[in-house]
Structure 1
Amino acid sequence: MVCSAQSEPNAELEFERFYNALKMDEIFNGLGGNVEVDTKQILADTLKDLPESQKQFLINAMGTAVLAEPSDMSAAKMAFKLKILSLLSPEELKIAADFYSTNIGLKAHRAIIEAEVAASNVLD
């Protein structure tokens, strides 16, 4: 019997699949195209529990341009990315990307957003 080694999914690749499947650029644009994000605070909050190697990887991936302009779309995407990468393993991210790449997954995502807005309106 031959065992084939399966490599762990690439977090960067799976994040891009996930982000695109959710149509996050479209969602951010729907928020007015100018999302206020405190990336320094999000970075600090997100990285506090990560292993040192992951911290350095994410800090290097951020770059100074994103930190310098927290209100642009790339800052919003980076904040989203940092939070998602802190909450989901590469394997979980792959599973989520696979699901949200389907019509049902995208429909569920849109339904969740609309339901959260409805609930938020009641709580306001």
Structure 2
Amino acid sequence: MTDTLSIGEVARRAGVATSTVRYYDRLGLVPVVDRDGTGRRYDDSALRRLTVIRSFQHAGFSLDEIKELLDGAGRWQHLAREKREQLSARIQELVTAQELIDAALACGCEDLEGCPAHEERSSCP
């Protein structure tokens, strides 16, 4: 088979350990396109999958959720909508935290906990 990559090359390009690629292979997350005398062989779709998996993991998705989303079968759209709502809520939490930090930094307070920005962002001494 042409244009395939070894497990080491896929892992290196994706920035993960080969053991991670093997684990995802066992879970059915990253498909092997061929096995030759030197081991597993992958195509470019494995790199795309690993990128998506890592992104979803960083966003807090479980591997079971990621598998359901990537398989495209069953209730993936329902799950995607649920996860999107959760991500939107988390983004808002992060924006609120960032705004509090920005207000406290602009205020010039000695410590974060005593900053009036926590009570009302617009009123600093």
Q: Point out which structure has higher relative CO (alpha carbons under 8 A, 6+ apart).
A: 1
TM-score by length of 2: 0.29
* Higher gyration radius (CA): 2
Q: Which has the higher strand share?
A: 2
TM-score, length basis structure 1: 0.29
